[in-house]
Homo-oligomer: A and B are copies of this chain.
Amino acid sequence: MKALFPGSFDPVTLGHLDILERAARLCDTLTVAVLGNPSKQPLFTAVERAAFLTESLRHLPNVRVDIFSGLLADYALRENIDVIIRGVRSERDYQVEEQRALVNRGLTGGVDTLLMVSDTKYRHISSSAVREILSANGSERFFTIFSEMVPAVVAEKLKEK
């Protein structure tokens, strides 16, 4: 099974890494595809985001990190992907992912999406929570906080911001 895990990863969190490790065990190859052109101004560039992922996933030999732009469906067809995988932390996430799964199945002519329930330990961690905390300037505890939410390499970079 040749799988694709797309996302913005702005930035990658410990929750992402947990799902990616679990997904990698089930696939022959897993491509982690970083969305190059998100609608909102990202915190990190696509190249930075991909570098954080590469650094954090290097212990998984069947995982590779890529950057894509344009339609996910086109990328999936071009890369000859068998299935898309996404993590779901809550019913709210599910509502979004259900729509996406149906749209992408239509646009690709049949590539399905498999959803994986996040470990409850990471349920409250999201890239947007990280960005929101960062935007509330001035906490001295930021580094400690981020250390529990993102990989060390990202926490270091967030410290600089």
Contact = CB atoms under 8 A, between A and B. Distances in A.
A92 B95 contact: yes
Interface in A52-106: 69-72, 74, 82-83, 85, 88, 90-92, 94-95, 97-99, 101-103, 105-106
Interface residues of A, number: 51
Contacts of A105: 117
A115 interface: yes
Interface of A: 1, 22, 25-27, 37, 39, 69-72, 74, 82-83, 85, 88, 90-92, 94-95, 97-99, 101-103, 105-107, 112-117, 120-121, 123-124, 126, 129, 133, 135-139, 141, 145, 148
Most buried by B among A1, A91, A115: A115
Given A115-B115, A120-B121, A141 B74 contact: yes
A36 to B, nearest CB: 10
Contact of A26 (B70, B82, B120): B82
Given A71-B138, A74-B138, A106-B124, 19 more contacts: A1-B26, A26-B82, A37-B136, A39-B135, A71-B136, A74-B139, A88-B94, A90-B99, A98-B117, A99-B124, A99-B129, A102-B124, A103-B129, A112-B116, A114-B114, A115-B117, A120-B120, A120-B123, A120-B124
